[in-house]
Structure 1
Amino acid sequence: MKKAKLTVDRDFSKAKLDERIYGSFIEHLGRAVYGGIYQPGHPSADEEGFRKDVINLVKALNVSVVRYPGGNFVSSYRWEDGIGPVSQRPKRLDLAWKSLETNEVGVHEFAHWCKKAGTQAMMSLNLGTRGVAEACDLLEYCNHPSGTYLSDLRIKNGEKEPFGFRLWCLGNEMDGPWQIGHKTMDEYGRLASETGRAMKVIDPSIELVACGSSNLLMPTFPQWEATVLEHAYDEVDYISLHQYYGNKDNDSEDFLALSDDMDQFIRSVIAACDFVKAKKRSRKYINLSFDEWNVWFHSGEQDKDTIENHPWQQAPALLEDIYTFEDALLVGLMLITLMKHGDRVKIACMAQLVNVIAPIMAEKDGGAWCQTIFYPFMHASVFGRGTVLEPVLVSDCHDTSHHEDVTDVEAVALYHEEAGEITVFAVNRNLSDDVEFTMDLRGFSPVIFLEHIVMENENLKAVNGPDNPQVTPAVRRDVDNDHGKAVCLLKRASWNVFRFQV
């Protein structure tokens, strides 16, 4: 039988995990906002038009932070369009997605929604068609108490207290030629530096995220990171990473190895950050914000047809991928990868939250329901708290069409001292064989086994729907725990969560 062993000890810890690693993303794209979080007249809508059925599922996901309003959308967005009386707000062409933006939802509405959903806002700035002045204006409007034109305008618009937004993204994917207002690395680095410096004069408490590479295969990676940080190192706190994966070739075995590429991407960005740190002889570390990640490929042809042949619709159905069981397995593997790098990855946003490449789907005239990828994210966000441990993982390996020495099992362990719990997340990505999995927890002995949450399905292409969920988790008590040495059989192609009481 195939075997794998994870050994952890309380004395070998990596970092306290930042809860903002369990963030998500709402962009003015498709039905994410209109028909997603906001739908006046829907049976579940509250007095402000927000869907309470969606809010309840967001709360179940335990989402810590939500990036807004983009995304590609932000690079031609005028934030002023989304304030003041809704009836007087202008309709605009969204150049990123060739849609019609009504501006019914803006900064005030989003702040109210965040409070209702129990999450924090991560604001994105337009550094595509705009610059330093407009970024400072938005910050002053949102965070300055009163006594200036913009802060008093916020008060006039109904918000006496400042929003107090702490986390700000300096643009979006500025390395990408698809981006409205695309910049070279030197152009963007200078702009990020000057914008960040001015913003921190207004509010020194804010944290700033500089745009990193849009994916691992960008031709400017990793020189982009090095050049941008040489300009903006002193002004910014994080640099972003974006990465999506897909199984376009229907090679499931290789698809589940793609989290190894994500791991290499993270390591390379850390190396670039620390190169600039050494070059500047700085004592400051730049950490990582992986603020777009997910599986995205199912809806490609349909989206292309809508955008190119049927442009300027209001909230068209775009990027509405229906996720399979194997997609949920890769999402689980990506979550494990993010947790393993908890010492440097402090923020991460699954893109996106509702309807658009999302764990939550909202039917126009019906209810809201959970996609397959909802569950690994929920398990990680609810149980993946505390200190990331430095484990020793020994596993049998296999090769795929494009990867070598792929471990059958990927796993990570966290210790939540306040709750007195250890949680182990593990994926068996071997599609042929079950694996005997041993968890050596004797460094915490004695431990009591609590539960084993598992997702399995014989059909890798199984999906959920509003009325026929085929992929849901089950709870088992199938772990043999002998004085802190716990053994369980990981079924082939399975997502597993093990919980122990210390």
Structure 2
Amino acid sequence: MQATGTVHSGYVISTIDPRLYGSFVEHLGRAVYTGIYEPEHPTANADGMRQDVIDLVRELDVPVVRYPGGNFVSAYNWEDGIGPREDRPVRLDLAWHSSESNQVGIHEFADWAKAAGAEMMLAVNLGSRGLDEARAFLEYVNHPGGSHWSDLRRKNGREEPWNVKLWCLGNEMDGPWQIGQKTAEEYGRIAFETAKAMRAFDKSIELVVCGSSSPKMPTYPAWEATVLDYTYDSVDYISLHMYFDNHAGDTANYLAQNARLDEYIETVAGVIAFTKAKKRSRKNVYISFDEWNVWYHSRDADRTVLEGNDGWPHAPALLEDIYNFEDVLQVGCILNTFIRRSDVVKVGCLAQLVNVIAPIMTVPGGPAWRQTTFYPYLFASRYGRGKALQLSLDCPGYGTDFVDQVPYLDVSAVETDTDGALTFFIVNRHQTEAIDLDMALEGFGDRRVILDKVIEGHGLRAVNGADGEPVAPQDGAGSGFSGGRLAASIAPLSYRMIRLGA
């Protein structure tokens, strides 16, 4: 089986915003407590943060982390997480039926983010609260001093402002599960007024308005049209969320689901373009895909807590999906889609980063370890920054009940901005056949293979754990560059990354 393609140096989709490879830490389950924060842990730093987790986040080179939610933010009082820890209240979190100790708040998270090498992306509560809370939080975080909230920050130990640029105007406000759910008109109005107030403080901040929580929502895509009608000239991004599952156990259908993702992006990009034309605006609004991941393995285990049968536990194990080899291929396809749509998707957040549907898992008092999906995220984050290139690919494919034709090979290409290397990210969806890839390179000059990594040969249900990480990259073999062409045999059900340097 063969696939042929062409990539040309002049056919650029877009310069990729590094924040496309962001992530997310929510006060949910063990993401914060025994995830990033565990003062009794042997590796804990002076702030009580797990250094082993910080090291893994730095390995991933995560550029931005969304915080503190998520569903959690829609009933969260940010003031509960400031001041002396012994004075902070314990609250009942209605989103995840847990108790929140507030031992980690904005100060602690900001210090953790700095240690992890990430910028903060903060969300304000537009569910149970609104404009006044948002402007106060912004003043506390970003004003130098001489005002009530900024002076309180300085009193609490942070002299200089954090100057956070990226702010989310609530979370999933279309969802009936959300505290303070709103109609599109209600949300559009409050989002506009909140954006207006926040921009009155600082015109340079970037604002993210809530789009649909899923393309399955009954209000999609009319929600986007209504909300953008209110907010288009006041915001910079509209958020989209999507999760992927294989409840049916159908690998072929599962690995084709990024076709639905592409359609979702295409539809909302059309709504953005329509609104821009309708308003005769010169401003561009982009997509912040600030929640995405595989999520289905842990749902049955979560019911006891989420239905309230355990009372109000603190930091219970929730959404702790253990990812398998099949999920490596899915995450690779999703990341390829974002690279190919980087002209409209500028910010992305893998949800989430630690313990909660996450690439990093921890054992309380014990080790931190890499899930199988750690690796496609690692490779995209490290080598997928630069210019996304347009590919033409002629490859055999197959159909599903929701897409007529999906190629067996899913490929994206990036000319890296650090060293000029050309990086190909490749997933072979075929379950039994290797595919010989013949890719013509035009306008790149002479090249050679400088890095070839592959994850292949595992059973679809193979997993990693605290006692070992068998699903990990190995050196690829047989790829080569000659006569202006890359040739490689892509094994069935494999994830491959090939880099060509000058």
For the aligned pair, the TM-score class normalised by the smaller chain equals: over 0.9
SS in 2 for 1:314: coil
Q: 1:318 — aligned with what?
A: 318
Q: 1:491 — aligned with what?
A: 491
Report the Cα offset of residue 415 of structure 1.
0.8
SS in 2 for 1:375: helix
Q: 1:351 — aligned with what?
A: 351
Is this contact kept in 2: 1:241–1:289, CA < 8 A? yes
Q: 1:401 & 1:491 partners in 2: Cα distance?
A: 25
Matched AA of 2:328? A
Report the Cα offset of residue 470 of structure 1.
2.5
SS in 2 for 1:233: helix
Report the Cα offset of residue 479 of structure 1.
1.0
Report the Cα offset of residue 305 of structure 1.
1.6
Report the Cα offset of residue 418 of structure 1.
4.4
Q: 1:418 & 1:434 partners in 2: Cα distance?
A: 32
Is this contact kept in 2: 1:442–1:483, CA < 8 A? no
Q: 2:404 & 2:387 partners in 1: Cα distance?
A: 30
Unaligned runs of at least 5 residues, structure 1: none
Report the Cα offset of residue 196 of structure 1.
0.3
Matched AA of 1:42? H
Q: 1:83 & 1:47 partners in 2: Cα distance?
A: 18
Matched AA of 1:273? I
Deviates more, 1:438-447 or 1:399-408: 399-408
Is this contact kept in 1: 2:97–2:305, CA < 8 A? no
Report the Cα offset of residue 476 of structure 1.
2.5
Deviates more, 1:424-433 or 1:290-299: 424-433
Report the Cα offset of residue 118 of structure 1.
0.3
Q: 2:275 & 2:430 partners in 1: Cα distance?
A: 39
Q: 2:427 — aligned with what?
A: 427
1:473 aligns with 2:473: yes
Report the Cα offset of residue 6 of structure 1.
2.8
Is this contact kept in 2: 1:254–1:403, CA < 8 A? no
Matched AA of 1:35? T
Matched AA of 1:215? S
Q: 1:149 & 1:254 partners in 2: Cα distance?
A: 55
Q: 1:103 — aligned with what?
A: 102
Is this contact kept in 2: 1:242–1:291, CA < 8 A? yes
Q: 1:250 — aligned with what?
A: 249
Report the Cα offset of residue 432 of structure 1.
2.2
Q: 2:365 — aligned with what?
A: 365
Is this contact kept in 2: 1:72–1:179, CA < 8 A? yes
Mapping 1:142-181, distance limit 5 Å: 142-181=141-180
Mapping 1:15-34, distance limit 5 Å: 15-34=14-33
Q: 2:183 — aligned with what?
A: 184
Q: 1:338 & 1:25 partners in 2: Cα distance?
A: 17
Report the Cα offset of residue 492 of structure 1.
0.6
Q: 1:170 & 1:78 partners in 2: Cα distance?
A: 15
Q: 1:104 & 1:483 partners in 2: Cα distance?
A: 60
Q: How many positions carry a matched residue from both structures?
A: 501
Q: 1:37 — aligned with what?
A: 36
Report the Cα offset of residue 468 of structure 1.
2.5
Deviates more, 1:415-424 or 1:152-161: 415-424
Q: 1:427 & 1:6 partners in 2: Cα distance?
A: 15
Q: 2:412 — aligned with what?
A: 412
Q: 1:382 & 1:7 partners in 2: Cα distance?
A: 24
Q: 1:307 & 1:166 partners in 2: Cα distance?
A: 34
Q: Deviations over 1:103-129 (max 9, x none)?
A: 000000010001000000000110000
Matched AA of 1:408? Y
SS in 1 for 2:9: coil
Mapping 1:41-190, distance limit 5 Å: 41-190=40-189
Report the Cα offset of residue 417 of structure 1.
4.7
Q: 2:402 & 2:289 partners in 1: Cα distance?
A: 24
Is this contact kept in 2: 1:22–1:63, CA < 8 A? yes
Q: 2:175 & 2:306 partners in 1: Cα distance?
A: 18
Q: 1:187 & 1:388 partners in 2: Cα distance?
A: 38
Is this contact kept in 2: 1:354–1:360, CA < 8 A? yes
Q: 2:223 — aligned with what?
A: 224
Q: 1:402 & 1:420 partners in 2: Cα distance?
A: 38
Report the Cα offset of residue 365 of structure 1.
2.2
Q: 1:47 & 1:440 partners in 2: Cα distance?
A: 53
Q: 2:443 — aligned with what?
A: 443
Report the Cα offset of residue 433 of structure 1.
1.4
Report the Cα offset of residue 451 of structure 1.
2.1
Is this contact kept in 1: 2:435–2:492, CA < 8 A? yes
Q: Closer, same or farther in 2 for the Cα pair 1:93/1:418, shift >3 Å?
A: closer
Q: 1:418 & 1:290 partners in 2: Cα distance?
A: 25
Matched AA of 2:196? R
Report the Cα offset of residue 402 of structure 1.
4.1
Mapping 1:207-222, distance limit 5 Å: 207-222=206-221
Report the Cα offset of residue 477 of structure 1.
4.0
Matched AA of 1:348? G
Is this contact kept in 2: 1:447–1:483, CA < 8 A? no
Is this contact kept in 1: 2:451–2:500, CA < 8 A? yes
Q: Deviations over 1:2-21 (max 9, x none)?
A: 22123111111111100000
Q: 1:120 & 1:48 partners in 2: Cα distance?
A: 18
Is this contact kept in 2: 1:25–1:349, CA < 8 A? yes
Q: 1:392 — aligned with what?
A: 392
SS in 1 for 2:10: coil
Q: 1:459 — aligned with what?
A: 459
Matched AA of 1:334? I
Q: 2:11 — aligned with what?
A: 12
Q: Closer, same or farther in 2 for the Cα pair 1:53/1:458, shift >3 Å?
A: closer
Matched AA of 1:467? D
Q: 2:381 & 2:414 partners in 1: Cα distance?
A: 12
Deviates more, 1:303-312 or 1:328-337: 303-312
Is this contact kept in 1: 2:245–2:254, CA < 8 A? yes
Is this contact kept in 2: 1:457–1:471, CA < 8 A? no
Q: Deviations over 1:339-377 (max 9, x none)?
A: 101111110000000000000001012110000000000
Is this contact kept in 2: 1:451–1:477, CA < 8 A? no
Report the Cα offset of residue 480 of structure 1.
2.8
Q: 1:24 & 1:474 partners in 2: Cα distance?
A: 25
Matched AA of 1:171? G
Matched AA of 2:48? G
Matched AA of 1:384? G
Q: 2:232 & 2:66 partners in 1: Cα distance?
A: 22
Unaligned runs of at least 5 residues, structure 2: none
Is this contact kept in 1: 2:458–2:471, CA < 8 A? no
Is this contact kept in 1: 2:367–2:466, CA < 8 A? yes
Is this contact kept in 1: 2:325–2:458, CA < 8 A? no
Report the Cα offset of residue 404 of structure 1.
2.1
Q: 1:299 — aligned with what?
A: 298
Report the Cα offset of residue 311 of structure 1.
2.9
Matched AA of 1:4? A
Q: 1:285 — aligned with what?
A: 284
Q: 1:195 — aligned with what?
A: 194
Matched AA of 2:103? E
Deviates more, 1:19-28 or 1:384-393: 384-393
Is this contact kept in 1: 2:9–2:442, CA < 8 A? no
